[in-house]
Amino acid sequence: MKKIALISIIMVAIVFSACFAYAGEAADYTVKPGDTLYEIGKRFGLHYSAIMKTNKLGSTVIMPGMKLNIPVEAGIIHTVTTGETLYGISRKYGVRVTEIKNRNNLSGDLIVPGMRLVLTDGSAAADHRVQPVLSGNASFGSSDILLLAKMIHAESRGEPLSGQIAVGAVILNRLKSEHFPSTIREIIFQRTKGVYQFTPVSNGQIDLEPDRSAFYAAERALKGEDPTGGALFFYNPDISSDKWIKTLPVTKVIGNHVFAR
């Protein structure tokens, strides 16, 4: 029995070491049929040349089964803690479970405390890297930028850039106000009498993957840009049925949105 148990432990250790990246400056990735350096780089939010340099490749030719070291310092690294699941991590960072599996070369859903998972912010990471942003005395990390970008994308995709920045600015203005919650997440998911403040949260569009424009607008809003003149609310007058919000003093009209205090 002891021998069988020892063999089981060894087999589990082998599986873990093959599938997960622990502490270090690179994560292991096994090339799959059809892979290209460009697509692998995009998956990890890297330029393919960074992978070539790390692995000292003389050309872009790669073969199935080849082991590549992926420089993870360019991405977001999450260390698994007790009780976490891939689904929970995916919700936290706004990254699909399948994307986490692909980036970390996982074949199943099993994760254990201490494992280091390579994450990015979705397909936009390849074009627009998420970095901490300073705004006044506040510091905002990648999760704040990602959530704000999701909100901007859900509420104002198709609007002019100034309108997208304006939506982000409303969230930041609420953050400064004593009448609203004290974090970006709490503001976006705030409910009044059981009703969410923002429609995309209630209809699920907050989970849509933000594009590059939304990330750019989020960073500009986080850095203090405010085209609204201090607005705390916004609405589309052609869609909104809320009579109260239409009584508020208007500060700006941008695109299809009215911004108000």
Predicted confidence (pLDDT) per residue in 20-72, tens digit: 333 334 567 788 888 888 877 766 666 777 788 888 888 888 988 898 887 75
Q: What pLDDT, on the 0 to 100 scale, is given for residue 255?
A: 92
Delimit the CATH 1.10.10.2520 region(s) of the chain. Answer: 133-260
Q: Which residues of the chain have pLDDT under 50?
A: 2-25, 73-74, 121-137
**75, 120 Cβ separation under 8 angstroms:** yes
**225, 167 Cβ separation under 8 angstroms:** no
User: CA-to-CA distance for 160 and 25, rounded, in angstroms?
Assistant: 40
Q: According to DSSP H, which parts of 116-243 are helical?
A: 142-156, 161-176, 184-188, 199-203, 212-222
Q: What pLDDT, on the 0 to 100 scale, is given for residue 27?
A: 65
Place of tokens 């939506």: 167
| Domain spanning 133-260, CATH class | mainly alpha
Q: What pLDDT, on the 0 to 100 scale, is given for residue 106?
A: 78
All residues at 6 or more sequence positions from 26 whose CB lies less than 8 Å from its CB, including other chains: 54, 69, 70, 71, 72
Q: What pLDDT, on the 0 to 100 scale, is given for residue 128?
A: 36
Delimit the CATH 3.10.350.10 region(s) of the chain. Answer: 2-126
User: CA-to-CA distance for 52 and 60, rounded, in angstroms?
Assistant: 7
DSSP 62-109: --TT-EEEEEGGGSEEEE--TT--HHHHHHHHT--HHHHHHHHT-SSS
Coil, strand, or helix at residue 234?
strand
Q: Does domain 2-126 have CATH number 3.10.350.10?
A: yes
Report the greatest alpha carbon distance in the chain.
Answer: 76
